Amino acid sequence: VQLVESGGGLVKPGGSLRLSCAASGFTFSNYGMNWVRQAPGKGLEWVSSISSSSSYVYYADSVEGRFSISRDNGKNSLYLQMNSLRAEDTAVYYCVRDVTIGTTPYYFDYWGQGTLVTVSS
Amino acid sequence: DIVMTQSPDSLAVSLGERATINCKSSQTVLHIYNNKNYLSWYQQKPGQPPKLLIYWASTRESGVPDRFSGSGSGTDFTLTISSLQAEDVAVYYCQQYYRSPPITFGQGTRLEI
């Protein structure tokens, strides 16, 4: 299993950024996927989840209405569109595979290396 | 949301000794339907992403050394490393998936030699 994030960088407050995650080594279309972030020197914060067929999407309250998760099973790729970025969104963003039972994510069994997003003027 | 609180925030243990990390949830994560505790543990070494160690509170992930064990039920849980090795220096996180979403993590416990 490999998860490789890209798209991070420096962006000004109020700006937008799109993160991508390229998945390989497993049948991508069978798994729920997530974004989890970690601010510098801080703990882990779940950001968003998407079910295997994109039927169910979930967001943390802190990003609801500003971020949008999507996936392309034909391209084995996961995305996170981030709009109206704030300084507090500065973090390493991890692409994470989950174990889903029913319609909701449970625990996380594989993590990418992460991509750093810095929101600063 | 379920709040996860770990203790202590940091811990120093000698090589070969036992390390114990606690995690308390603000409400039960034990599902009476299947008698399972919806709790997992992760290890994050410096400069690396987190790694799954334990799920369902006590089931060790494949490849995880058997010196790692999880216990507890309801609202109180423990991660135990029976004989600390140098490579176990890391930050450890608990996570609940009983009320998902949102999935919530503890604040982390830093384990040092």
The pLDDT-based confidence of B56 (bands split at 50, 70, 90) is very high
Q: Is the separation of the CB atoms in B109 and B21 below 8 Å? A: yes
**Residue of chain B whose Cα is closest to the Cα of A94:** B49
Contact A105 B102 (CB under 8 A): no
Q: DSSP code of B24?
A: E
Chain B residues whose CB is inside 8 A of the A45 CB are: 105
How confident is the model over A6-41, as pLDDT tens digits? 999 999 999 999 999 999 999 999 999 999 999 999
CA distance B12 to chain A (A): 19
- CA atoms within a 13 Å half-sphere pointing along the CA-CB vector of B109: 25
Residues of A13-38 as b/e, b for ≥16 C-beta within 10 angstroms? eeeebebbbbbeeeebeebbbbbbbb
**β partners of residue A78:** A21, A71
> Which pLDDT tens digit goes with each residue over B71-82?
999 999 999 999
Single-letter amino acid, residue B5? T
Between B10 and A105, the more confident residue is B10
Within an 8 Å CB–CB cutoff, is residue B100 touching chain A? yes
Q: Helix, strand or coil for residue B87?
A: helix
Is residue B9 within 8 A of residue B109, CB to CB? The reply is yes
For residue A75, the distance in angstroms to the closest alpha carbon of chain B comes to 24
How far is the C-alpha of B79 from the C-alpha of B71, rounded, in Å? 7
d(C-alpha B36, C-alpha B96), whole Å: 12
Distance from CA of A121 to the nearest CA of B (A): 26
How far is it, in rounded angstroms, from Cα B8 to Cα B5?
Answer: 9
